[in-house]
Structure 1
């Protein structure tokens, strides 16, 4: 099989290490999608930053592309004979991206990778191009990567298996993808007291040997997503990255959007960061089996962290009755989602407290998540979005129901961009092959100012007095550092008010004209339907 020969010759592929840490600014499409420039095969492409998935893919020039959108020049794309079928979303979306897997060089900030595997997508129903992006940069763990899964399966099977991911049902009878969960059953767990030849499963028809856990672990640094590969090979100062998201709606400014590899942003007060361990999945829960040398190992699948409780305006919300009371409450930290998603019955309780599914924009509401005993609020300016009528007075909460955990992933909440605009979030891979030696963690540092309520009221009052809509703009991913005008008391860089780029309309209104506004509204809902992960 050609793939096997290709993989063998790239086993010694080198990583070009230029510096232990690096930082780059982010683009922002109306706060529903954030992008970063990634060089793929010599072309800089704006790719959506997604901690909720683990795959790198770019649009093919064969796909319908808007005029002016850069695309990957596939002249050096080395196909390997298998394709990826990447599923996103939940029972309400079911979006997908499909295309052949191959490899080429890639570079993120100052870090270069040779023979980086990715999918060249020619068929997708995602709304990536509406955001001015050319694909997606998944920042998750290798075990949750469709590309990694497909390549490992293909290496150990002549049957060219495609994606081995299961779509668990949410109990509503939907046949759409709900929880896109990896199937790791093809890996052979150690059998104590057996000879090596008996540790592997043999396909009776093709005499194909299935991989052992140890063999699978070796593939992380070869087939894994780009940033996890940098971490696995020690190319970063620390096996981590950090993200801060800017605000380009309601009141433009907030944190300076950035992706930092190998560290927290320079100058950040590290003592204020709250670190919590990522959920690890046992084999019984669908996780990877432990290697013989470390029989008690458990492995992470996603950036999923424990949550103590959830509060609205200081009132503790009830736990969901839709999932088992014995299931630990956890949340996915997901830059690829433009909403905060939670259990349907808990969201109903929120709407009851609000009195409706809309609310006056000037009324400050605080949705807060207790993590590690510390409250992390959603900035009240990010809790809702203006309802597009004629005035900047009515808002709709940036909330959506999540599928009930029932097999597959076990998180009940997905904390997307509304939450992440109010924190500096750090993602620490730790030891990917032996997590017990250095567990994966997520660090959070709240950046919501104490006077956020006053900022919200002033923004609404200013727009109302001027008879204009609330501000909104979009900015492309910059080639270098984010444009920080200052830092907050914790050292987190802050964006210049008004953003780096000119707004869509005049500086007075910072709103696009009506025809463009309708197109943008449609685009926003289309992107919300994307709901990566």
Structure 2
């Protein structure tokens, strides 16, 4: 389930240098991680069309829908697009610990990394050598994940996994020796799912869930602040991407209160009910019940929803037209239109900036919208809400009571957007302040005073799909 069990979408331009800017300071005991992002190079209208088609098909496959089999050469672009479309974070595996960059995805629940004995798809990326870790245990169980863009397969094992100052001593994960070419691009070695155990392909407890259930976190929450470089002149291939925290919320990154909404189906996806959608100040007719269920998915860059309601949205945007060919399922509108879209999940309406809604220019006057028509499987949510929305809020994922919260970004957080003078931090292995056992949920250390913020010196760099999410295989 690369949920982003499917790398669905890849946005554009981002600027790079370094997050030497002041590092967010923890508001309580917990750990901060800096985020990176990558941007794609210039594409022609035809290349963007192939990209758009592939991204839509990947997300449909990820969420259980059948996709028309007319891929032709479009699937080949996934290699390029995946290179520029994700946020990644570093974690460490084994004894001695070795760090790896992985996609962070709230839309999936499995951890997997490429094997040093990989026979395909891993030649240019860092890989995990099981023989180098004295604590690795081979579970002798086959593992396979399929995506719209390819697949990864191998076997399950367990080992010590560390991230942002936390450690799980016997975390089960997959070591993959066969990966579709282009599915992983240096420096990314795999994917870390941050959804619930019930949708885990391997049927094992996710890393984050083992930590929170084991009592390792001060608060049962994890949060994201994502930066924006879309449309910024001079953006580089790697840019600071914001902050991911586990065990606390960072009060320097948001203002006002966090509005929490309980999950409509706790324990699977981070699933909310979309209650209101507006475009250009006008309310858009949307469905109710399961037709309004929306997965809040950091591993997806855009926003996908049922065809009827996406059409209703674009009907409010002057001169917007449905795409055809490679742009089937997308809408094209005049670039000089300032689009204002809001979404609500039962409380406040949250605005999506025109910068995020305007995915890319496909000609001098035509732009591609970031909302697209999506068909999912019977058991998957009708709406997938990705980074197009999440870049505009501080998002919090709460374990108990299971909920997702949103808050307004602080002026400090907003100042990070488009900062081409910031330094991209280097991922390092930090000290462990709290450890649990994934199986027994025991062994939690109480000495949180020794935790250090993983900022410029010891960042756990997080990487999430920017314009497309990393594909993931989600069971129906």
TM range (shorter): 0.5 to 0.7
Verify the 8 A CA contact 1:255 1:493 in the aligned structure 2. no
Distance 1:422 1:260 in 2: 17
Is structure 2 residue 137 aligned with structure 1 residue 78? yes
**Matches for 1:187-336 after TM superposition, within 5 Å:** 223-251=204-232, 257-268=242-253, 271-280=256-265, 299-320=266-287, 326-327=289-290, 329-336=292-299
**1:94 CA drift (Å):** 6.8
Match of 1:152 in 2: none
Q: Could you tell which deviates more after superposition, 118-127 or 138-147?
A: 118-127
Q: Secondary structure at the match of 2:209?
A: helix
State whether structure 2 residue 313 is matched by structure 1 residue 350. Answer: yes
Q: 1:401 aligns with which of 373, 385, 393?
A: 373
CA RMSD, Structure 1 to Structure 2 (Å)? 3.0
CA drift at 1:361: 2.9
Say which SS state the counterpart of residue 335 (structure 1) adopts: coil
- Give me the whole-angstrom Cα distance separating, in 2, the residues matched to 1:378 and 1:55: 30
CA contact (8 A) 1:304 1:330 kept: yes
Higher mean Cα deviation, 334-343 or 311-320? 311-320
1:255–1:421: 8 Å Cα contact kept in structure 2? no
Larger RCO of the pair (alpha carbons < 8 Å, separation 6+):
2
User: Who is 1:69 aligned against?
Assistant: 125
Question: How far off is 1:440 after superposition?
Answer: 0.4
Q: 1:135 to 1:426 in 2, by over 3 A?
A: same
1:103 corresponds to = 158
**In structure 2, distance between residues paired with 1:337 and 1:488:** 25
The residue number in structure 1 matching 2:88 is 35
How far is the alpha carbon of 1:319 from its aligned partner?
Answer: 2.2
More helix by share: 1
How far residue 338 of structure 1 moved from its aligned partner, in angstroms, is 1.8
The CA distance in 2 between the partners of 1:139 and 1:379, in whole Å, is: 26
How far, CA to CA, are the matches of 1:104 and 1:26 in structure 2?
Answer: 25
CA shift for structure 1 position 129: 1.8
Cα gap change, 1:399 to 1:492, in 2 (>3 Å): closer
Q: TM-score, normalised by structure 1?
A: 0.58
Looking at structure 1, the residues matched to 101 and 472 of structure 2 have their Cα atoms a distance apart, in angstroms, of: 18
For residue 83 of structure 1, report the CA deviation from its aligned partner: 1.7
SS across alignment from 1:530: coil
Which residue does the alignment assign to 2:429?
none
Cα distance in 2, alignment partners of residues 531 and 497 from structure 1? 31
Gaps of 5+ in 1: 1-18, 150-222, 281-298, 431-438, 448-486, 503-522
Among 441, 456, 471, the alignment partner of 1:530 is 471
Normalised TM-score (structure 2): 0.65
For residue 172 of structure 1, what is the aligned residue in structure 2? none
Note if contact 2:121-2:182 (Cα within 8 Å) is conserved in structure 1. no
- Tell me how far apart the structure 1 counterparts of residues 470 and 219 of structure 2 sit (CA, whole Å): 35
Pair 1:364 & 2:356 matched: no
CA distance in 1, matches of 2:167, 2:130: 18
Q: CA deviation at 1:115?
A: 1.3
Q: 1:255 to 1:363 in 2, by over 3 A?
A: farther
The ranges of structure 1 where at least 4 consecutive aligned residues each deviate by more than 6 angstroms after the TM superposition are 252-255
Where 1:272 maps in the other structure, the secondary structure is strand
C-alpha separation in 2, matches of 1:272 and 1:53:
28
1:390-437 deviations in Å (ceiling 9; x for gaps): x4x43201233222563x23x22111111111111100111xxxxxxx
1:442: which partner in 2?
404
What is the CA–CA distance in structure 2 between the aligned matches of 1:81 and 1:238, rounded to whole Å?
35
Change (3 A) 1:308 1:143: same
Larger C-alpha radius of gyration, 1 or 2? 1
